[in-house]
Amino acid sequence: MVTMPATSLDPEVAARLKRTADGLVPAIAQQYDTGEVLMLGWMDDEALHRTLTTGRCTYWSRSRQEYWVKGDTSGHVQHVKSVALDCDGDTLLVKVDQVGAACHTGDRTCFEAGPLPLG
């Protein structure tokens, strides 16, 4: 289990979160005005606190074991419009105004590969 740093997340919000064994919650980024699903990232309490207080999406990189603010290196910023927690407390929906590509591949969304075959 990864030990995350102390956070300033509102204790009432923190109490509602159901985290993975690694202390993370999946965060779905969605374009606020079109409903387009952009990407999935991971947040711990501190990343959520930073997202709520800065208005920019901060995620926890599971591979690099560090925080990253969407757009700091690419310029493809996510301006936060709202954040909601689902009924189970185990998934965040972050409505954003996406500037440029959301996906690290340069695509608008991480779901550009198309649907998988059914049946």
Residue ranges of the binding site: 86-88, 90, 103, 110
Binding site for Zn(2+): residue ranges?
A: 87, 103, 110
Q: What is the three-class DSSP state of 16?
A: helix
Q: What's the first-to-final CA gap in the chain, in angstroms?
A: 38
Helix, strand and coil percent figures for the chain, each rounded to 5: 15, 30, 55
Binding site for Mg(2+): residue ranges?
A: 86, 88, 90
Find, among 72, 73, 82, the residue nearest to 30 by Cα. 82
